[in-house]
Structure 1
């Protein structure tokens, strides 16, 4: 029943944990300083109020403990709203005073608890009766499932006893709006955008009185050349544009792109590498579309299907686990009812909820394995993914990411078959690496397990999995065709040749089952026999040739078995496709879409990989004629690279912390820019590839341009790209220093850690520590976390703190005294303007890892010069994090006395690296940053 709302505060202490010591605020107001062991004991026994329980547990070095987590309450009261998962972040989100000391943070959490409960109670007065009933029903269900916040939340909502009963509240899918189908969009026009028009649109976006940057206008003018009509099929207008940091390249390419989209009635796809830049682009587009309603119509953020919540997955999870996983069910329901677009990865779903609730209860609800049943799904007309696909058809600007664009190209088109004619690739220096991943092929145990699961559905899990096999997706469609039904049965029977549950354990005891596991066992045998350190905790790899005895035969037998899987699937796909013609008059649009989706899934998820696997096996077994029969041997006479072979194959055993997780045969393109040029650029009419770091700075401008063109695939097109370069407006010689420390032994972790500690202390925080290995990062963190905490400098660390990388960066950006340790993801994926980032310390020169793939490319693309080019680009990207706006200042320190002077071109003109001892580096860092700030 309902009653008067009241504020019922949890009568528990508040715990703020540190590496050296913690603060506990008792219920009577007494504040205690505790040692790590004392804090761990109180955490286990007192069910304290904390902020981000997993991170607290990690700092106290204990397992998960029972607690009141303020973030769970925040997610319930303010779903789909941003909040940093720290006491300061909570304070800022709620408009409270910023806490300055751990004692203040503890008090802030208590105040925040009351504020959230008051906000929840006050919301009853303005919400509709239906909305109030839904919130009360969810809260009651969560309380019944054991949610610690249940009693305080129910009291704030005015619920007593069983008055909140209402399992219907979790059926949030019933309250979502449906999307509407619209007529097909006409073909895009071909009207050009003149350079002067691009400049005018840019000026309009900047507004009157805005700072005029001639470089930005020149950049927009150059980029407009990609929006000219194409003259010859397969020959897009390609613009290769390097724009130094601070140029304003984002608005520079949005100007001509938006004009072209408006004029020609078709979207321009802007592709980025990171989700962070997708968010930044979304914000920048506010300048073009200040009206949120218009912007929602004109701009669409597109990601892969695995980023969006699947409503069918959520329904099955909620109805099955609403008691056992009540907290996750309720918090995800609150988010689904409030989200803008259903994006769980980088959208408005808080990343810290994954840490709190677990991946299975959050990201596990996305369509990760391509198991969508399309129109057979009860939620098809409300699906977030389908809504995004349809919105993208009618948008002016589609903000995507490199992986989505390339994988869709590799698979033969976007979700709905649409292929954009105009593309902008921002962060273009990542094109090579993303293409390397998108166009590669892997015949491994995990890949086989995924294919088997897609075909058969869950096996031996007691019905706990939400996976759906091909039979469930297609059986009602094949009932009228005996041929199709037989083909489906044959395919499902043949799928059992793929690795099954428990395959890793069987291979470890040399008891493989079936041709796929027998092949993997032989792969493992060769890797272990030929690796220099088979007992290492790290992953192992070895060349494919010559194969050990038995491997070639196992490859031939597996290839033959794969044919038995491929053939019935092709028959099934052909039979389903025939329905589109035979029953054209009877099929509704949703059923047609479903059939097309299943056929597309069979082709992309099974038939295409099987073709690649058979080719790889034929090559391994020494059957070149078979390999050539299934290999695309298309040549491009304009390609200046002489290929000793188009592909690089190798065998590998993948390990994580000493545990074997995957085994198999791998194939990558020697030059992945070739399939990128053919599959992505050639079909387009205009392409812009832009970055602040396209050229590596070898000292030879023409050689640098040629290397950049080759790396992004421009050399595989018959017409030369338009080159454009706009220098940064920043005064780097005045605003930065580059120091190379000469007296720290990089193999002595005590010395390395001491260097990081003293440099971070000298900077007073704002330090980003970059590492070439996770193990080195963890060792430094273990040694310096305490001393930095004592000095009031919080230390964050990737691979240590129980938080996702994006959340760590958000905290680092918000808290100027904090320091952050990270690996490659931090090197060029961090955008932190201002004093929050004023020092970068790199543990060593980031040379390429000398694996089999790199060795092959090194031999093909210039030997030592190729190594230098990659390393200069990495240093250039890392240095580029340091100055993001005109008033930024910073110091870049490299703890590697072996840094060669030929790599100095990684730094801007006029910035001269200096070789100094550690003591001098510390002194100069403090003096420079103190003088500047």
Structure 2
């Protein structure tokens, strides 16, 4: 069927509510009030151009709630909508399940079947040219291990076979996967790519095919990191679009920060010198190799952790790297007309030289005298027991300026997650995104929604950032954080959850326990945990603030309870979660990835235990630097950074309890500060509305009843 013109489509397309009803019926679901409210709000945002933040609890059906109005808009306007996610799991769910079913369901209503595509960074696709020409020499300590060499050869051989079978060239379609080292032999970064105009196999390029498919699609599914790279480097990886939906928006700042971070090691500098050594004079390349040796000496003597000032020896070593890399870049000169193999070698060398040079410049310019003027944080990592050399890292203190300019000032944006309203307000995350507060002064609104025209309290004045260094080009820190009280108009909406948290869940805070210390889990806490697990009959997910605590609890509880205790690290996380789900009496203990990555409905999970409020580690370089920078500008660094981090992770963690309408259980927080500390109210207001109690016997009795009911059911 011919595509309707935009004018004709506007008069003939069904409404969003009609399409949603059709979609829900087609997938065998039930239309829910929160889902309808969210779909209406997304439709309004599309029509008005106002940005929207939607908190939609688990079970709302938020994917359909944003996909239906987004698809309708794409078909009506003959345009593309971008949907960005944080995790591969959600990308696969959208592309493999939600979008195919939705496209078929809406085909007759829309007059044609909507098209969709997935788009990732170029490094995720197999490169046929590199496959033919071979990867450049890549020094790696692991290659001195004959076993590693043998394994690499087998994996590369398998990749060559797979290249003749795959249709997509997408690394995620290769099962089982291969190591990063093997994948690097058959892939290139965007900077290393020759480009379609020069590559001899461009017509068969998997990455180019993926981009071409994205250009024809109504909905393009991508990830937060690629969205950030597209914004920073202006390469227009994404097709033209006027609407972007950010799912898993609670992870947006961390993913963009990671994409905007840089790393420099002596081995990176040495590799850059070797790669350009065959293309320029030995004397010029040798200077870079000497600079690599000098950097190695300085980093070996360095103290791991955050750097508040640039040590003289390190400054000298970085300056030598910067100057030597610049000399090599100059010697390489502009691109020349040459055969593809020589052009590829030159491109690979230039890519790494640029990275080394630009990261060295960024490190050298990160230490502004005034804390309020700094935009980056620098730290050193080193592990004497590892074969990896010490590494310098640099990350942006804020990505709010980048997000405001690249997202909110150029296209309509919908941000959604089950966890957005922290402390009862969207403002906490909005200020990190570069949006103004929804209420004067950024105070939490009285309800769960509000529009805004001001900005965050924690960012430095733009005038202080006016002299951006040239090295910031293509980085998140090129854009100063917003500093005025005007900005994009946005609305916050909490559509709630279909789950009855008050009737089906208890929040137990062990008020009587002493505050957690630095010496590990106390015997009182372990006794409390033992009594809770015994009452629950197993069925427990233990979320711990560190692997040390998780292992300590595992060892202690294996001696105190009769139920199996699994610990993260005993096997792959996926296998452990499956074993936990399959045996209702089993308990699973672990740390960070379990706080957000576990979806176990039913009686296998009726107790979620949190050992302590998940504040960031005091030695976390990025979080501690952000907190200090806010305090230097007169803000409350603890509440803005540490408490916000804890509230977000705590809300994600307790969200593991309810995955279906029938789930019931207890969230037990064994940190008395949640009840006693002044910030406890902010943290509790970030959680679902469970029935609260401090009475341990009441909780144990409830767990025993749940255990008995589950036994009777099974």
Structure 1 residue 738, shift from structure 2 partner: 1.9
CA gap of 1:655–1:189, structure 2 versus 1, over 3 A, is farther
Q: Does residue 674 of structure 2 align to residue 905 of structure 1?
A: no
Task: Check whether the contact 1:301–1:398 (CA below 8 A) recurs between aligned residues.
Answer: yes
Larger radius of gyration: 1
Task: Check whether the contact 1:739–1:894 (CA below 8 A) recurs between aligned residues.
Answer: yes
1:572 aligns with one of 317, 329, 334: 334
Q: Does residue 415 of structure 2 align to residue 689 of structure 1?
A: yes
Q: Does residue 499 of structure 2 align to residue 726 of structure 1?
A: no
Task: Check whether the contact 1:308–1:342 (CA below 8 A) recurs between aligned residues.
Answer: yes
Match of 2:593 in 1: 825
2:243 aligns with one of 416, 419, 422: 422
Task: Check whether the contact 2:421–2:686 (CA below 8 A) recurs between aligned residues.
Answer: no
| Cα deviation 1:7-37 (Å, max 9, x = unaligned) | xxxxxxxxxxxxxxxxxxxxxxxxxxxxxxx
Q: Does residue 105 of structure 2 align to residue 287 of structure 1?
A: no
Task: Check whether the contact 2:377–2:397 (CA below 8 A) recurs between aligned residues.
Answer: no
Structure 1 residue 195, shift from structure 2 partner: 12
Structure 1 residue 674, shift from structure 2 partner: 1.6
Structure 1 residue 494, shift from structure 2 partner: 4.6
Q: How does 1:353-502 map to 2 (within 5 A)?
A: 353-354=176-177, 360=181, 366-367=187-188, 371-372=192-193, 380-415=202-237, 418-445=239-266, 447-448=268-269, 451=272, 455-456=275-276, 488-489=279-280, 494=284, 497-498=287-288
Please give the secondary structure, in 2, of the residue aligned with 1:398: strand
Match of 1:670 in 2: 397
CA distance in 1, matches of 2:12, 2:373: 43
CA gap of 1:807–1:224, structure 2 versus 1, over 3 A, is farther
CA distance in 2, matches of 1:331, 1:665: 34
CA distance in 2, matches of 1:292, 1:312: 40
CA gap of 1:909–1:551, structure 2 versus 1, over 3 A, is closer
Task: Check whether the contact 1:767–1:818 (CA below 8 A) recurs between aligned residues.
Answer: yes
CA distance in 2, matches of 1:808, 1:315: 40
Q: Does residue 315 of structure 2 align to residue 521 of structure 1?
A: no
Structure 1 residue 296, shift from structure 2 partner: 10
Match of 1:844 in 2: 612
Please give the secondary structure, in 2, of the residue aligned with 1:434: helix
Match of 2:383 in 1: 655
CA distance in 1, matches of 2:210, 2:62: 26
CA gap of 1:323–1:725, structure 2 versus 1, over 3 A, is closer
CA gap of 1:365–1:775, structure 2 versus 1, over 3 A, is farther
Task: Check whether the contact 1:695–1:705 (CA below 8 A) recurs between aligned residues.
Answer: yes
Please give the secondary structure, in 2, of the residue aligned with 1:652: strand
2:638 aligns with one of 857, 864, 870: 864
Match of 1:881 in 2: 656
Please give the secondary structure, in 1, of the residue aligned with 2:623: helix
Q: Does residue 91 of structure 2 align to residue 278 of structure 1?
A: yes
Match of 1:203 in 2: 21
CA gap of 1:323–1:646, structure 2 versus 1, over 3 A, is closer
Q: CA RMSD in A?
A: 4.5
Structure 1 residue 908, shift from structure 2 partner: 4.3
Please give the secondary structure, in 2, of the residue aligned with 1:659: coil
Q: How does 1:309-328 map to 2 (within 5 A)?
A: 309-311=126-128
| Cα deviation 1:200-246 (Å, max 9, x = unaligned) | 2211211278533222111111112343486xxxxxx4222222222
CA distance in 1, matches of 2:105, 2:202: 29
Structure 1 residue 557, shift from structure 2 partner: 3.1
Structure 1 residue 427, shift from structure 2 partner: 0.7
Q: How does 1:505-904 map to 2 (within 5 A)?
A: 514-525=290-301, 527-528=302-303, 540-545=304-309, 547-569=310-332, 571-573=333-335, 575=336, 606-607=353-354, 610-618=357-365, 644-655=372-383, 658-659=385-386, 661-682=388-409, 684-697=410-423, 701=424, 704-715=425-436, 716=482, 718-741=487-510, 742-743=512-513, 747-749=519-521, 751=523, 759-760=532-533, 762-784=535-557, 791=563, 793=564, 795-801=565-571, 803=572, 805-806=573-574, 808-809=576-577, 812-813=580-581, 816-851=584-619, 852-859=621-628, 860=630, 861-866=635-640, 867-899=642-674, 900=677, 901-904=680-683
Please give the secondary structure, in 1, of the residue aligned with 2:388: strand
What TM-score, normalized to structure 2?
0.75
Structure 1 residue 367, shift from structure 2 partner: 4.5
CA distance in 1, matches of 2:545, 2:580: 20
CA distance in 2, matches of 1:563, 1:190: 57
Please give the secondary structure, in 2, of the residue aligned with 1:714: coil
CA distance in 2, matches of 1:912, 1:432: 31
CA distance in 2, matches of 1:611, 1:665: 13
CA distance in 2, matches of 1:296, 1:780: 53
Task: Check whether the contact 2:263–2:393 (CA below 8 A) recurs between aligned residues.
Answer: yes
Please give the secondary structure, in 2, of the residue aligned with 1:285: helix
CA gap of 1:373–1:810, structure 2 versus 1, over 3 A, is farther
2:46 aligns with one of 217, 227, 245: 227
Task: Check whether the contact 1:194–1:224 (CA below 8 A) recurs between aligned residues.
Answer: no
Structure 1 residue 912, shift from structure 2 partner: 4.2
CA distance in 2, matches of 1:757, 1:344: 44
CA distance in 2, matches of 1:765, 1:305: 45
CA gap of 1:739–1:646, structure 2 versus 1, over 3 A, is same
Task: Check whether the contact 1:191–1:260 (CA below 8 A) recurs between aligned residues.
Answer: no
CA distance in 1, matches of 2:415, 2:546: 30
Structure 1 residue 399, shift from structure 2 partner: 1.3
CA distance in 2, matches of 1:737, 1:247: 21
1:213 aligns with one of 32, 46, 55: 32
Task: Check whether the contact 1:267–1:397 (CA below 8 A) recurs between aligned residues.
Answer: yes
CA gap of 1:358–1:908, structure 2 versus 1, over 3 A, is closer
Task: Check whether the contact 1:695–1:873 (CA below 8 A) recurs between aligned residues.
Answer: no
Task: Check whether the contact 2:71–2:219 (CA below 8 A) recurs between aligned residues.
Answer: yes
| Cα deviation 1:137-160 (Å, max 9, x = unaligned) | xxxxxxxxxxxxxxxxxxxxxxxx
CA distance in 1, matches of 2:249, 2:366: 33
Please give the secondary structure, in 2, of the residue aligned with 1:387: helix
Match of 2:475 in 1: none
Match of 1:298 in 2: 115
Unmatched 5+ stretches in structure 1: 1-186, 231-236, 458-470, 472-487, 499-512, 529-539, 580-586, 625-641
Task: Check whether the contact 1:193–1:224 (CA below 8 A) recurs between aligned residues.
Answer: no
Task: Check whether the contact 1:771–1:822 (CA below 8 A) recurs between aligned residues.
Answer: yes
Structure 1 residue 426, shift from structure 2 partner: 0.3
Q: How does 1:116-265 map to 2 (within 5 A)?
A: 197-207=15-25, 210-228=29-47, 237-265=50-78
Task: Check whether the contact 2:266–2:296 (CA below 8 A) recurs between aligned residues.
Answer: yes
CA gap of 1:567–1:755, structure 2 versus 1, over 3 A, is farther
CA distance in 1, matches of 2:280, 2:181: 31
CA distance in 2, matches of 1:369, 1:562: 20
CA gap of 1:292–1:242, structure 2 versus 1, over 3 A, is closer
Please give the secondary structure, in 1, of the residue aligned with 2:383: strand
CA gap of 1:842–1:456, structure 2 versus 1, over 3 A, is farther
CA distance in 2, matches of 1:600, 1:193: 51
Structure 1 residue 274, shift from structure 2 partner: 0.8
CA distance in 2, matches of 1:738, 1:489: 66
CA gap of 1:729–1:404, structure 2 versus 1, over 3 A, is same
What TM-score, normalized to structure 1?
0.58
Please give the secondary structure, in 1, of the residue aligned with 2:104: coil
Bigger Cα displacement from structure 2, 195-204 vs 247-256: 195-204
1:927 aligns with one of 691, 699, 705: 705
